[in-house]
Every structure is written in C-alpha cells, then in structure tokens.
Structure 1
C-alpha cells in the first residue's frame, strides 16, 4: 500500500484484516458525520502519542502504529516494517518447472522502490537511521521510530540523542481542525497533538517541513529541513557569463557556470551556457527526500566534464518540463577528479563517466524533450538504480553505453531513442565483476514506453541478472539494431509482453542460462547466428516468435514449447536442442569456432552428441530451413512431440536429418504434425508423396500449403494427400510469414 498523506475526506483502502469494519473506514465515517470525540485519534481504542514533527501518532491496543494525523489535518497510514525491503520475490517466469532447477529470481515489477516519490508519499530516511543499527518499526514524515525493552516508543534527533515519545494533548482535537483545508490548517493555532500556544508551518513544495518550535527544530536539524524564505522554488538561469539564482533557499551555491545543490527540493533551470565549468552538481544528504532538477529549456555544454553530476542524494530526478527542449553535452575527455565524503562517512575520489552521471538512484521524467550527448563514455549512468517515468522524449547518443543503471534500469514510459557507438544500448551489470547474482540488482525491467536503439556497437539490451519485458504499465514497443546480440543476459531473459523487433549481428535473444517467452510479439533477424539461444533452457509458453532469418532459429540444451506461435527460418537447423553455448557448429566472422566457454552462468562448453532435449506439448509452430545438410526439428538427444501443431519445411540436400531428427529416442504422437522435405526424415513416419507450392496437403487432422516442392512427407495419422477443401477443419492460424495452417483439435 505504501504511505499516504491524504486529506481526511479522501482516505483509501483498508488497514485491518476486517475489510468490512477497517480503521480507515471508521475514521472516514466519523469525520463525515462529525462524530469526533476528545481523543486526538478520533475514536476510542487508540492511544495518541506526540510525533517528532508535531504529528499525532495513533497506536492500537498492541502499541502498533495504525495511522497518524499530520499537523495540517491530513492523514497517513503506514506500511509494515517500512524500509525493511527493497523489492518483492515474485518469479517473473511462469510456474512451469525449470529443468535447470535454479533459484527463481525476484520480480522487479513488484518492487516498491520503483515507485516515483513524486507519485507516492513514502518518506525518505531520517538521520535517526544512522544513529543505530536496529531495525525501525516504521518511518513517519522522515523520522524512524523504535521500541525499547520496556515497550517505550522512541526516536533519535539530528544529534543522535534518544528521545522518548510522549502522550499527545487531547484537548486540541476538534472537528473543525480535522476537516480544514491543509492551507487553512497551516495557519491555525489549534492542531491535533499541539497545545494552543504552538503553531506549525505547512509542508513546502519539496515536502520539507520547517520546525515550528525548539523541540521540532532539534528533531529536524539537517540540511534537508530548509524552507525558502518566500516559499518560491529556487530558479537558476544560465547566460553567457554563467549562472544566477533567484529565491535561494540557502542550498544553492553558484560559481560561474557551476551550480552546487546541497538540499532536497525543487530547482528550476533554464538558459544556455557552454564552458569547462558548466555543471549542476548535487551533494545532498541521503536522508533527504530527493532533489528535483526541473529543466525548463536548458542547454548546458560542459567542454571538459559532465553537465549533471549527482554526487550524493537520496534520489535525484531530472525532469524535462512539458513544452520544453533541453540539451546536455559533455566533454570528450576527462582530466578532473572529485574528492568527497559519502553517506557512510567514507572519503571517495570520483571521475564522471557519463553526460548525466549519478552515484545514487536517478529518475528521468517529465513530458518535455531531453537530448543527451555522451561524447566521453556513457550517455546516462548511475551506480545504483536508473528509472524512467512520464512521457518524456529522450534522445541519447553515446561513445559507449547509451543508458546504464548498474543496479537496475527500470522503464515505465517515454519515447527513448539511443545510439551507442561502441557499447550497449541499455545495460545493467551489478554482480558481473564478482561473478555472482546480487538480489534485485543487475536487472533491466521494461514495463512500457517506446524504445528504439538505432545503433549498438555491442549488444542492444544487456543485463547480468535478468531482463524482463512486460506490460504492467503499457505495452512496450522495442526496436533494436545491434552489431552484437539484440537482447542478452548472463542468466535469464523473460519476454512476457510487448512488440519487439530485433536486427542483430549476433544472436537475436540470448541467455547464458534460460530464456522464457510468456507473451508479446517478437520479430528477429540474425542471419549470422541464432535467432534465440539459451545455454540451458528455452521455454515457450505464449506469444509469437518470428525469426525471419538466422543460422539456427531456436537453439538451447532443453527446448520446451507449451504454447505460443513460432515461425522460424534457419539456413541450417530451424530448431536445435544441443548442449553448450552457441555450439551449433556455426563459426563467427573471424572463422573461429563458437564452441568455446561463455561468460556467466551458462552450461560451459559444448556437451556430447547425445546432449539435448526437445519437447513440444502445445502451440502452433512453423519451421523452415535452407538447403544443404539441414534439419527442421533437431535434437542431439531426445525428441518428443505430444501436442501442438507442427509444420516443418526442410530443404535438405545431402547429409542426414530431414524434417525431424534426433540422436536419441523420438516420439511423435501429436495428430497435427506435418513434414515436407526433398529428402527422407530420420524420425517420424515417411511417406513418398510429391508436393508442390500450389496446393494444400495433409490428413483429416491438418492441412498446409508448402512454400517448397519435394517428394517426402511426414505425418502421424496415416498417409497424407492433396487437400482440395479446407472448410472442414475447425481452426486455422496464419503465420507471420503469410502461410496458413488448418487443423482439428
């Protein structure tokens, strides 16, 4: 649920297990009917305690925080053990057993850390988190609360002094106070939890509360608690001589073209400037709620360094405001290093390696246009999590990687275009250096938006842990053109939704472990390598896979198709179940064998000739090969087709194999299987039936019009023949390549 700071009349969702009589419902009803008693927590059964920032904490009979009342009359509801987790543990794959039996990964789609603080009122950490290693019970308005052995609630002030929470004043509660508009409530001298002699200052636009009493000042004395003297957002304007600032909140320092920001809040930027000092640098305590860099028509060119450098912050937001175009460019070399003290009181020396460079969480959002020119290395880079929110139009060119979030790259929306000269289009590689997965890191999570990678000197989209494409926000539209692989992970790839178009010099979709197709429409052109390759398991559950050109269409040690539609063309084998990494016998452009050991969690080198399993239980599949010693459906081990619709067109000329081939046992029991070939098939029942491209052929269960001519057919329900009328079949599917199959279940 997360935190909510909601006006009293807009309370949402239930807190208790009894959804028919929840505290939130009772509170709403009591407020609406003005049945407010003298208990500051509105109705009996709750204990009112004075919060560190003036709010009233309402504890139930067990002493657990049920809700709180802010000083402006709004309400907040806690999330259990706030701050204890960063993400959930849902497996983004299906529940189909994985023959590789690896541990299921966490699903970034359930990660509450992916929520934008601008869209959620989850408070940031307070300095109290640095005063103890104990786990906080909950956090309210930036203050973490703990409980001692005697059951007393306490928090730490900014000097790490332990402060025990005391009872709130009941006399101050009134229905007028509860129902007031927040702006009006700010000026009232009678607030819930305050004595009549105290007043409060309302929350500012950047969610930082100014202390209204000496006690509050002690609890909140940090760089994050500063309110502009006139309530306006600081405005920084660039011109030929550098930057100037208006409405300075004592958190902005300007030196020529260099702007340093040391507090949370909103900051507006506009104008144009070029120079070696053209830089916006953020150095804000991590206890802050976040720094918002609002770009309102800014052109900033740093000739020697990065124009935006977030050295330290809780979160930094780069916001391209609606109706504006903003251009950022960095220098092509680096000669400057920065020495600073991080949140762990460690001295660090840093050199910026991107046009927009951040050490902590970074979010790109807004509805304007952002142009990023990474002339030195990466376009946009953070050492932690990189998120994209809003309908921003983003155009990134980079000497190396276009977008890199070492921890996570999480894309919900936006129109993103990337040209990466030498590196990857999108990259997340946490764990790669150590060679082991870091939980909830090393992930690319695409949940919506339009992404076009016009050029990738290496891979299009790369992650060490896993890549997931899903439609939890909107249907993603992804187009990748790469010299290397199109979409690649050292461990897992999940294609659950979206429209994906890949043109790659190496494999189209590749994993050193497993690939799962659970939905979406994926088109792949990988003429020199595999369309889809998994060193371990390729699982097809749903969606459409259209391989227009490849050396081998689908390759993995274990291929299992439970559903979906596949239309695959391979100049060698269309489907190949073979052990090892890229071990189909193909050679790379230098002529060296691809049978070598791959990086990361793969199966190692090519396994023996009996290695491989290929199982089809459902779906509709069309496999076509080029001419030569080719196989349509090939397993270097066992082959089982017990369900689904399978059409094979094999243009074998010499060699052995044909439509269906297996080095181990083969079982073809599905009634909807047809093979067309110019040579006999090693597996399945062969029939000497000539066929041409002008007619349908098949049995009473299935019919297909081949795109090649030949004289050998494979069927599972008797000898096939020419079919003059397809109206008797119950179902039909038209493949992406244009051919149609008719069949009865």
Structure 2
C-alpha cells in the first residue's frame, strides 16, 4: 500500500557564492518576555545534527491589554459635553471645552460628543494632566486645509468612539502650515501625541492628503468599528505599538499600510492583532512591526508594491556554470546515452548568482508603472543595515519576530510576502501567497508547525538561516529555489562590503523536516541547504529543475534521513540523495534520457506491494525515493508509464492498484542508498567538488562529506555498468 501522505509546500531562496563569506551568520534566536520575545527559539545547529527548536506560545494577550476604558463605547448625555459643529464655527454645551471660530479646544478630561460639519477647522485636545478624554464622533465631517483636523497635543489617553449607525469623515490638506516649523507636527489627519484608542460600531473615513491617515506617537489601539483610510504616506501608525482587537479596516496608502516605529525600546514598536478584517493596498509594506508582529486571527487581503506582477524581473541560475543557487559542480549523472539536459557549461554568470541579474539588496523596488508615490525609506535595522536607501514592498514585515497563530491571508507582494529580520513562526492559518521575491523569509529561523501555506508564485519560496517543518500543509512554486537554508541575512553584507551575497556554506545551517506535508515545484534547487538536512517524519515531494545547473536536492553537509516519505524528481547533473549515515533506506535512479512530464514512476517490492507511485509534473531524468517500507535485503522493481487507480494529490498516489507500466530495473537493497541506472545497481563516487556554489571547494576537486562513502552523489559515466 502506498503510505505516502500528500505533500505540502516549501520555501526558497537563491544563494550564490562566487565569494565565500568569511563570517558565518549567527542563528541563535534570543528569547525574551518582552514585545520582541522570540516566537521561536533555536540553538546553533551543527552540521548533520538535529536542531534544538521550540515554538514559543506568543499571543497578542502577552503583548498588549485592552482595558475597560479602551472597550467602553457607551456614554451618558447627562454628563457629556456636546460640541455642535456648523461650518466655520462651533457651539459648546458643557464644561471642559471652548470654541474660537473654527477651532475647538478640549482642556479637561471627560466625555465630548461631536456632531455636524467643520469645513476648515480643528479639534484640539490639550489636557495638562493624566486625565482621559472620551471623544464621541456622532456623525461629523471634519476638514482642515493646512493642518490636522484632529490634533491631540496632550492627554493621559484619548478614546475615540464611532457612534453606532454614523459615518464620520476626517480630511486634511496636501500642505501644512506649522506653528513650529522645526517640529513639523502634526503629520496626519488624526494626529495624537498621547495613547489613542478607537472603538464603537460606526464608520470612520480618513483622507490623509498630507502624509499619514491616523498616527499616534504613543500607543494606537483599535477595538472595533469600520475604518477606511486613504493616505499620501502611511495609513495607520503607532510609534510604541499598534494593537487591533477587531474591526473592518480598509487602507490605501502611498507608503505603508499599518506600521509601528519605535526602534529604541525592545518592549515597544510592535504590532499585535487579535482579529478583524484587513483590506490593504500599499505602495510599500502592508503591515510592518518595527520590533515584532504577532497575529492571532483575522482575514487579510494585502497587495504591496503593485503586487507580484510589478516585481523586479529576476532570472534564476538554471543551467548556470556550477549551479549558482548553492549548487556547485557535483558528480555527473550516468552518461550512457547522454540526456537532453546535459550541455556544455555556459559562460560564467555575473557574480551575483543570478546570471547577470542584480545582487539582492532590499528587494521590491517601487513599481515602474505605478502612479502612486513610491516613498523611499531610509534603510534601518528593521529593513537593511546599510546606509543606502531602499524601497520595501513586503506583505507582513518585522524587524524582530513574526508569529502567526491563525488567520486567513491573501498576500500579493512585489517583495517578500512574509519577512523577518529574526524568526518567522507559523503555527496555524491559511495563506495564499504571490510574491515577487521570497514567499517567506527569516534571517534566523523559519518554522512551520501547522496551517496551510500555498505559495503559488515566488522567486524563492521559503528561506531562513534554519528552517523547520513539523506540521501543516505547505506548497511552494518558485522560479528559483524552493526551500533555501542559508547562512544569515541576504542583504547586509552584500550592500556594505561589496560582496555579492552574505550567504555561505557555514555548515551550521539546517533544514529539519519532522512532520506535515511539503510540496515544492522549483526551477532552481528544490530543497537547498548551505548546511545539512535532517528528515524524521512527514512527507516531502519535490518537482525540481529540468536543467543540470541545479538539483532537486542540494546540501553541503549531510542529509540524515530517519523517517518520513521523500519523493524527488528532477535533473540529473547535480543529483544528490540522503547520506549513507541515514537509518532509512533510499533509492536514487538516473535515466539515460529525459522522461515525459506526468509519466508515472512506480516502485514495488517483490510481493507486488506499491512503495510509491508518482507522476512528476515536469520532465525529469532522475528520481529519489525514501520510505519506511524500503528494507535491507528486499527486492524491488522500478517501472515507468502505466496507470494507477489510486487518488493523486500533488502527483503522489494514495492506495489504488498500479498496472500497465514498463519495467526499467529490478534490484536488491543492501546499502542505505541504492544508486541505480537502467543497467542496474551502480556505485556512487566522488564528483567534481565545489565549483561556484556555496563554499563547496574549488574546480575539479574539494572532497565533501557527502561524497564517496557518504553516498551523497550519483555515479559518474565511468561507473555505468
């Protein structure tokens, strides 16, 4: 019986190594109880050793509290001060506020109910103590031609309630006149220098023609309501934090959609979202936390930088000399007939690993055809540690950890869809991702423990200094590498030192697969680790490259396989299989000629039990299969063609009967890796060494741990029987 579980998805990043970095990146994620507490923690992994990875249970409630004041939207007419707006004037009934022409000043704590229209005026909150102000918008139209219609100068806290059944609009002018030109404040249609909370069930429509829509220099909390923001720069900004409990939020921003900005205090500068509905179109990032970003739920539709269709055009290293995606010249596949994939090495590509493309700096340049104002962000530690300027158009981004506990996400970004300068942890949720660059990127650890991640378009699928997949259903489509485990940050060193890439083969980076399903369709490398790979459970399916410049499996150290199901199809020029140290058995088959896409590959034991039936989605010349059902001393037959009555998911058939195929080779298993060609069992020998990829030695030499007795490379033509 076919025991393969249907596959899921994987990630990717292109790495190049024309120049091997002398510095290996640190993959230790710090743990903390603060806002920047690690969503995941990992110890530095040694080559071939299992990573010590734990997912921390970080929730929004661990970072932020919504107190009774925040959630109270009710008010009493008996105790409230009413402010009736009438064009260029206002009438105040009650204490704590005064009106002078079109300016209303609130100077004491209390509840203030606003209604009517202010055509060119301002609501100022200036309370010189720690009192709270409850500002009820009861159907207002507020406008100011040269400043912020709502300017909160000082207060303990301001709670803005959107009265049930009302629509409230706030609009500023495109140019401000400042009382203090040096301060350049206010800078948003609703601008607060105190903590600001928005609640209620009404509607708030904000048009920020000058810069931001709603901005707080302290905390910004949203409890509920329908909020629509159109901004010349950022939509919603909270310096110390942005916290959302619920609400229906729509943002169109020429800068970032939602962002926090405090980069001086590790306990601040975060974004915590418990739920809500978010429809964000931004020229720059969709949701950006200066420190961390934690999401417990909600529905998200984010388009950044004009979407993936507007991304910088990149070309992968397919067919490049030495496999620039971390590959390097490995042992060649058996050449008894000379497959169509084998060709003479082309000219040396540019040293950026993308055959003449630009080295990866901060990806996602502003869309060339966008009419939006593509604001250029000065590079900081949250984005890139260089002195250059860059435009970021990521979907979800954080300078620290990104933790997703649940939610439904549709992300279409010109840049990375998820990007963390630290760790990314996905424990649940549903993701539909189109990315112009990486689908998921973490400088340190990328961990997927649950949920459904479907990356339908990316340059590189999933990337991290370390990557662990312990659960969930993950699918990756990548125009370059699918899963890429790299030695650190992909931006900083390349831009500051002139080297082409920070990633190098440090031997400490690790891809760990222990559960879940992972399906990869890549034009570059499929599973690519600049360190090692361990697999102890789950299912991994790889439809890898068709050209010999990349490999479906690509690792520098070892690939220790102790469990799970692995099915790999792709090119043969750089074919690798699990290492000989693996306790679970594998077979690696190389065909003389390329096989047609969709043609079944079937592996059966001598009793006619199917070990695997697989239909690769692309042409292929090599297949690797590892299964707990493969046993030492067992006899097996590999066939192609034919049909199966089983049900295929991601090309892998569950149950059903196989028939009508053509037997290619029969063999017995005596080693942990059995290398095969159409003549039978052959032996793996040391290949050509490192070449240009990932620190694998020089041309024509450089023995690697996975060569020879390690069983990591296919036989050369001299070994064909």
Does residue 440 of structure 2 align to residue 532 of structure 1?
yes
Task: Specify the alignment match of 1:618 in structure 2.
Answer: 515
SS at match of 1:582: coil
CA offsets 1:220-276 (integer angstroms, 9 cap, x no match): xxxxxxxxxx93422212123311122x12x0110111111122222111112222x
SS at match of 2:563: coil
Task: Specify the alignment match of 2:426 in structure 1.
Answer: 517
CA shift, 1:743, in A, is 7.8
* Shift in alpha-carbon separation, 1:104–1:688, aligned structure 2, 3 A: closer
User: Where does 1:558-569 land on structure 2 (aligned, <5 Å)?
Assistant: 558-569=466-477
For residues 605 and 551 of structure 1, what CA distance do their matches in structure 2 show?
Answer: 18
Task: Specify the alignment match of 2:562 in structure 1.
Answer: 669
* Shift in alpha-carbon separation, 1:541–1:96, aligned structure 2, 3 A: farther
Task: Specify the alignment match of 2:161 in structure 1.
Answer: 319
For residues 523 and 539 of structure 1, what CA distance do their matches in structure 2 show?
Answer: 17
1:658/1:679 contact within 8 Å kept: yes
User: Where does 1:256-271 land on structure 2 (aligned, <5 Å)?
Assistant: 256-271=101-116
For residues 694 and 525 of structure 1, what CA distance do their matches in structure 2 show?
Answer: 29
CA offsets 1:423-456 (integer angstroms, 9 cap, x no match): 211111212xx4xx421x11111110001112x2
* Shift in alpha-carbon separation, 1:99–1:255, aligned structure 2, 3 A: farther
1:299/1:326 contact within 8 Å kept: yes
SS at match of 2:61: helix
* Shift in alpha-carbon separation, 1:697–1:320, aligned structure 2, 3 A: farther
Task: Specify the alignment match of 1:686 in structure 2.
Answer: 588
CA shift, 1:502, in A, is 1.2
Does residue 499 of structure 2 align to residue 499 of structure 1?
no
CA offsets 1:397-434 (integer angstroms, 9 cap, x no match): 1111111101111011111111111x211111212xx4
User: Which of 486, 494, 518 in structure 2 is aligned with 1:595?
Assistant: 494
1:315/1:361 contact within 8 Å kept: yes
Does residue 275 of structure 2 align to residue 448 of structure 1?
yes
CA shift, 1:116, in A, is 4.5
For residues 321 and 237 of structure 1, what CA distance do their matches in structure 2 show?
Answer: 15
Task: Specify the alignment match of 2:623 in structure 1.
Answer: 713
For residues 414 and 646 of structure 1, what CA distance do their matches in structure 2 show?
Answer: 39
* Shift in alpha-carbon separation, 1:659–1:292, aligned structure 2, 3 A: same
Task: Specify the alignment match of 1:508 in structure 2.
Answer: 417
Task: Specify the alignment match of 1:25 in structure 2.
Answer: none
For residues 622 and 54 of structure 2, what CA distance do their matches in structure 1 show?
Answer: 42
User: Where does 1:384-403 land on structure 2 (aligned, <5 Å)?
Assistant: 384-390=218-224, 392-403=225-236
CA shift, 1:666, in A, is 1.7
CA shift, 1:596, in A, is 2.9
SS at match of 2:480: coil
Task: Specify the alignment match of 1:295 in structure 2.
Answer: 137
For residues 734 and 263 of structure 1, what CA distance do their matches in structure 2 show?
Answer: 65
1:573/1:625 contact within 8 Å kept: yes
CA shift, 1:99, in A, is 4.3
2:485/2:509 contact within 8 Å kept: yes
* Shift in alpha-carbon separation, 1:427–1:692, aligned structure 2, 3 A: same
User: Which of 291, 298, 302 in structure 2 is aligned with 1:479?
Assistant: 302
Task: Specify the alignment match of 2:61 in structure 1.
Answer: 109
Task: Specify the alignment match of 2:388 in structure 1.
Answer: none
* Shift in alpha-carbon separation, 1:105–1:480, aligned structure 2, 3 A: farther
1:542/1:563 contact within 8 Å kept: yes
* Shift in alpha-carbon separation, 1:713–1:666, aligned structure 2, 3 A: same
User: Which of 153, 170, 187 in structure 2 is aligned with 1:328?
Assistant: 170
For residues 508 and 324 of structure 1, what CA distance do their matches in structure 2 show?
Answer: 36
1:464/1:489 contact within 8 Å kept: yes
For residues 602 and 208 of structure 2, what CA distance do their matches in structure 1 show?
Answer: 57
Task: Specify the alignment match of 2:481 in structure 1.
Answer: 573
1:470/1:476 contact within 8 Å kept: no
CA offsets 1:638-690 (integer angstroms, 9 cap, x no match): 111221100000123132x4221111112233341100114352234421364
1:395/1:417 contact within 8 Å kept: yes
CA shift, 1:498, in A, is 0.2
Task: Specify the alignment match of 1:35 in structure 2.
Answer: none
* Shift in alpha-carbon separation, 1:413–1:94, aligned structure 2, 3 A: same
SS at match of 1:668: strand
CA shift, 1:698, in A, is 5.5
2:36/2:401 contact within 8 Å kept: no
1:495/1:517 contact within 8 Å kept: yes
Structure of greater Rg = 1
1:581/1:596 contact within 8 Å kept: no
CA shift, 1:632, in A, is 0.6
* Shift in alpha-carbon separation, 1:119–1:488, aligned structure 2, 3 A: closer
* Shift in alpha-carbon separation, 1:416–1:645, aligned structure 2, 3 A: same
1:662/1:683 contact within 8 Å kept: no
Task: Specify the alignment match of 1:64 in structure 2.
Answer: none
| Structure 2: gaps spanning 5 or more residues | 1-31, 46-52, 306-365, 367-392, 579-586, 605-609, 631-636, 657-721
CA shift, 1:329, in A, is 0.7
- Residues matched between the structures, number: 503
Does residue 272 of structure 2 align to residue 429 of structure 1?
no
CA offsets 1:460-512 (integer angstroms, 9 cap, x no match): 111121001113xxx44343433511111111111111011111111111111
SS at match of 1:711: strand
* Shift in alpha-carbon separation, 1:470–1:445, aligned structure 2, 3 A: same
**Residue range with higher mean Cα deviation, 488-497 or 108-117:** 108-117
1:673/1:716 contact within 8 Å kept: yes
1:713/1:720 contact within 8 Å kept: no
Does residue 169 of structure 2 align to residue 272 of structure 1?
no
For residues 477 and 58 of structure 2, what CA distance do their matches in structure 1 show?
Answer: 34
For residues 428 and 638 of structure 2, what CA distance do their matches in structure 1 show?
Answer: 33
User: Where does 1:54-65 land on structure 2 (aligned, <5 Å)?
Assistant: none
The TM-score with structure 2 as length reference comes to 0.64
Does residue 209 of structure 2 align to residue 375 of structure 1?
yes
For residues 446 and 400 of structure 1, what CA distance do their matches in structure 2 show?
Answer: 22
CA offsets 1:196-224 (integer angstroms, 9 cap, x no match): xxxxxxxx957xxxxxxxxxxxxxxxxxx
CA shift, 1:114, in A, is 2.7
CA offsets 1:74-111 (integer angstroms, 9 cap, x no match): xxxxxxxxxxxxx9769976676454999989754235
For residues 252 and 231 of structure 1, what CA distance do their matches in structure 2 show?
Answer: 16
More contact order relative to length (CA 8 Å, sep ≥ 6):
2
* Shift in alpha-carbon separation, 1:402–1:205, aligned structure 2, 3 A: closer
Task: Specify the alignment match of 1:461 in structure 2.
Answer: 287
2:88/2:119 contact within 8 Å kept: no
User: Which of 353, 359, 362 in structure 1 is aligned with 2:193?
Assistant: 359
For residues 444 and 96 of structure 1, what CA distance do their matches in structure 2 show?
Answer: 20
For residues 613 and 38 of structure 2, what CA distance do their matches in structure 1 show?
Answer: 34
CA shift, 1:572, in A, is 1.0
